[in-house]
Chains A and B, each alone.
Chain A
Amino acid sequence: MSMARLTALLSVLVLSGPALAQDIVLPEPASEAGPEAPAGSNPPEVAAIEVAPAIRDGVVQKAEQSGAAPAPAHVSGLAPVSALPDQIRMGASLPQPGILRLTGEVAAITLALELPADAAPAQGLRLDLRSAINILPDTAAMQVTVNDAAPVDLPLRNFGDFQAVDLPAAALKPGANRIGIALRQPHRVFCGPDASFAVWTELNLARSGAVLTGAAAAPSAQDFARALQQQVRAGLPLTVLAPEGTDPAVLRLLTDALGSAMQGQAFIQIRTPYDMAPRPGASVLLVQADAPQLDYRLDGSGAPVMTVAYRDATLPDMAEVLQALASATPQADAELLSPGQPVTLAQLGQGDIVGNTRYFRQDIPFRLPDDWLLLANQKARLDLHYGHADNLPQGAILLVKVNDETVRLLPLDRDGGKLLAPLPVGFAARLLHAGVNRLSFEMMVPGNPPDIACPPRQTDMLVIARDSSLTVPRSPAMRLPGLAATLSGLSAPSVTADPQAADPARMQLAAAQLAASLRPAAQPDPAASLVVMDFSTLPNALADVSLRALQEALFPAPPPAATPAQPAPTFRLSEAEPAAPEPAAQPTRSWSPLAWLARLGDRIGKSAFMASGENLSDWLDGRRGDALLIALDPDQPQALGLILGPDAQIRGIGRALDALRSSGQGHGGAALLSNDGSWQLWSPVALPRLQERVTAANLFPILGNYASWSPFLFACALLGLGLLSVLPALAIVIVYRKRRLR
């Protein structure tokens, strides 16, 4: 405080009497200062002298201290090599952005660490870790392998908050590095599938990596792209900083360019530069300036920032960084499976599957062509080449699943110790669909006994060989009508905001974020469009929807009305537990002929078509969600609308939209996004569309598809044909009978 000194000086000046007008007399040192004014006295004109310097700061570093202190260090960050699920799974997952969780008694993952070409040698490798308290610390360990160096063992002891562990990392080199992590983390008490989920270790990816010292140089386009890709793979969003007043059209240009370069794999969050929330790493700043300008800087935390200055809706040339981003973006699409021939797991990009946790699951995604459709009872086949350990306890099982439907249960408590002969597993092809499908292997091995820690194992529990093959029958080129076709052809520039929205800025923001997280279409359809809207405008398709149904579907559920509770008795006369209240009486079922006929008619009506069987308004009744995807006009099925509820979270909607798009399951005329991220589909009655000529080869599958789509109509058609075929016979009989009668 300057006034401390000021007062000190003033005191002396005033007290110095005649000297006052001559010169400034400095105060004495603090220890020799005059006494404080007595308590309770009137404030003196001049108070006690203070000469101690004002305390302005509590974390001051003197030059001699800072000279000896090491240069500030920063950590490079780590990233998974491939995309990980954002829900907790056995093995590796990203339950929170930037937090890698490795679940199960054993787990392994390879992480990428990119260092600039001109980076100084790293001081070490830092891992910011924490583990579940259930881990048995005596035997739990992490084995870390840096590139080809000898592995380093690390005990797992951080059971509370994240703590940094530093390792030597002489093997780190500029450019791409691989960090292998293998965990052994047995449960300290229990053994079994449940215990597998209770043991985990988490790694904060943003606060782990190579420890680099020295003043960070200004980043280049490559440095920025490298850092951005690393954080995107770690599940962290890209922050675009845009001050208020930024031209929305320019902002959209920028987010589209970034999203396209990263092929929709990054979620872009748009924030004001004054937002105090921490940023996850690399970011982009967009501001209006006198001239378009592109630069790369470090922000206040040392993370790279791409600064983009625009003028008159013109962005600077960003070709270099966009190219760097595109080249660093891994392809994440599932492999395309060609129907009609066996395709091995290896051809789907999957190696040998080895399971060593009491609960184990491995998903193998694959894609079928967009026009693949089989609804009848054709069979697909998995030739499963597998083996398991010979000492697995009784009750150990392996489930084979297709799109989460179990198609085979295999016991693993017999015939173990060797790879078995390939086992044909047939399943209904109608479990598959166009787009991304999932073949899953799920193993459960009970503890023996379950209430003590698992004994160490010397052998692997389960192996599924990569030469196991999947054969999917061919299908005629057919599609179920609905949103899926439009979604598959949708491209980022076609995602727009409704200009008539009540809150157009929110819609513009949402449209920009959704467009940036849209993966590029394999076959873009210029006519496909998606308008992001709110309740201020409603499309024709919702003309017949009751307002109440729409409100209840997308608005937050009101809190349940409080019902006055019956006061509990303050006495007890019996040792028996008080009887539970009687459940509400169920409506009695009427057995009158009319009611029976009505129920029958209802059942026939519902099973008549592969459709929702009710109009959209009735279908919406009682359902709740965050957003409603709908064709804006029945006559223009390629124009979609996405109506956002007031609580809609754009990141979740973007993910769900991408999942719906890649799954190819967007059949029907509307899709309601539930609060849990799943879609509820409403399908009006609409015939499957045949997209090729009918031939002798595809006749029966086509008929099968139509028959399965509507057994009622197919039966009616056959009945009609049967009746028609009877007519000639009747005619012949009548003609010949007439002749005989003559």
Chain B
Amino acid sequence: MNRRTLLLGLGAAALAGAPPTQGAAPPAHPLDASWQAWKSLCLSQDGRVVDGFQNAASHSEGQGYGLAMAAMLDDRPAFDAILDWTQRNLAIRDDALMAWRWQPDATPQVQDRNNASDGDLFLAWGLAIAATRQQRPELTERAGAIARDLLRLCTAPHPGDDGRLLFLPAAAGFRSDARVVVNPSYYMPRAMRELAQATGTPQLAQLADDGVRLIDGLAGAGLVPDWVAFGPAGQVPPPSGFSQNAGYESIRVPLFALWSGEAASPAVRGFAQAAGEAPPGGPYPVVLVPDSRAVIESSTHAGYGAVAALAACAAAGSGPGGVGSAMRPFAKDQPYYPATLHMMALLAQVSHYPTCVPL
């Protein structure tokens, strides 16, 4: 092999599809294919994230999730499309927050101008991520506006604990003098902290810390419920009609804790113990009784199983079960919500738990 030859250029150029040997092409993200699949399931050409099971409605939650994931995966076209659609259709309030739902068959399509603070949080987080990764400082300004309005409109003092802030589900409602209703799954500690740093809003980081303490306290008594309420005397039952089970809402609590790198969170450990032993292939427990951990509802959609499997693997740490998680690679046979949970679980795994790759 003395002839390191003139064919070098020729051969390299002719190898169809071969990556360049030199140059600035960044390595592909391991979840690129999964992201493409998620987009084919949930994202329309014009940047609308479609929730098929809700009459093809869109909401700020889905737009926020999609925007944040597009920013993380450096999908600029998808990012711009989602942002554009969101601005045109949901940015109709007098503040920087978004209206929470858009219905294709309603007139007008936005029937309620209230916001959903988790959707706004993810939107702002996505903007902050993109501002750095895409070197677009103007996005930081927009993220900052949302962050400031979230702090201004969607926080309330804890009725029973001076100095602690609660994250309200929306700008309007959910609180009275007697109690404040909270959805623990609206806390996303990593998003809050990174957004706080990016936009110079340290109160958001404080809100994240308060949220983590709140969730740790709830998890000490069992699984974190979907809805909780707090009064001057402490935790009180939420109004009837609000789910007190650990279900579709609160499954995001362990997921967001994992995504924030908090595998030791009691919420993660509790959920792993309750749902991590699901049989391979499902059905996966989705709605459980918080204290007894009895399963009320289960689903065969892989996204729910992915959260449980990742929780089990991450909670195992370096012990048995800490290498490989029984979550499936991204599955295309599921609707918006479990598909998005699945994608988020994969992102969390890639970010923080390299040994918990899907088995």
Contact = CB atoms under 8 A, between A and B. Distances in A.
Are these two chains actual partners, yes or no? yes
Max count, chain A CB within 10 A of own CB: residue among B16, B241, B359: B359
Given A2-B116, A215-B279, A289-B323, A536 B8 contact: yes
Interface string A37-76: 1011011111110010111111111110010000110100
Contact of B33 (A55, A276, A500, A536): A276
A718 interface: no
29 contacts: A1-B59, A2-B185, A3-B169, A5-B243, A6-B170, A7-B100, A7-B101, A10-B173, A22-B177, A24-B174, A48-B111, A56-B337, A57-B338, A61-B283, A63-B298, A72-B281, A72-B283, A216-B280, A273-B358, A274-B358, A290-B318, A297-B359, A300-B329, A300-B358, A307-B323, A309-B355, A535-B8, A536-B8, A540-B1
A488 interface: no
Contact of A21 (B19, B176, B297, B355): B176
A160 B186 CA distance: 50
Interface of B: 1-5, 7-8, 10-12, 14-19, 21, 27, 30-31, 33-34, 37, 51, 53-54, 57, 59, 61, 100-101, 107-108, 110-114, 116, 118, 169-170, 172-174, 176-179, 181, 183, 185-186, 226-227, 229, 239-243, 248-249, 279-283, 286, 294-302, 304-305, 309, 318, 320-324, 326-332, 335, 337-338, 346, 354-355, 357-359
Q: Which of B108, B173, B281 has the most CB of A within 10 A?
A: B173
Interface in A536-554: 536-540, 542-543, 547, 550-551
Contacts of B229: 24
Most chain-A Cβ atoms within 10 A of its Cβ — which of B172, B227, B279, B323? B323
A64 to B, nearest CB: 9
Nearest to A41: B108
Interface residues of A, number: 98
A22 B178 CA distance: 6
A291 interface: yes
Contacts of A62: 296-297
Interface string A2-37: 110111111001100000111111110000000001
A273 B357 contact: yes
A40 B324 contact: no
B116 A289 contact: no
A123 interface: no
A295 interface: yes
B33 A43 contact: no
B355 to A, nearest CB: 5
B54 A535 contact: no
B18 A57 contact: no
B112 A1 contact: no
A535 B112 contact: no
Given A5-B242, A276-B332, A302-B281, A538 B5 contact: yes
Q: Which 10 A-B pairs have the closest CB atoms?
A: A535-B11, A300-B328, A10-B173, A302-B280, A299-B359, A273-B357, A502-B12, A47-B112, A47-B111, A56-B248
Nearest to B226: A2
Given A1-B59, A216-B280, A538-B5, A57 B53 contact: yes
A657 interface: no
Contacts, number: 298
Contacts of B5: 537-538
Contacts of B18: 502-503, 506, 646
A273 B329 contact: yes
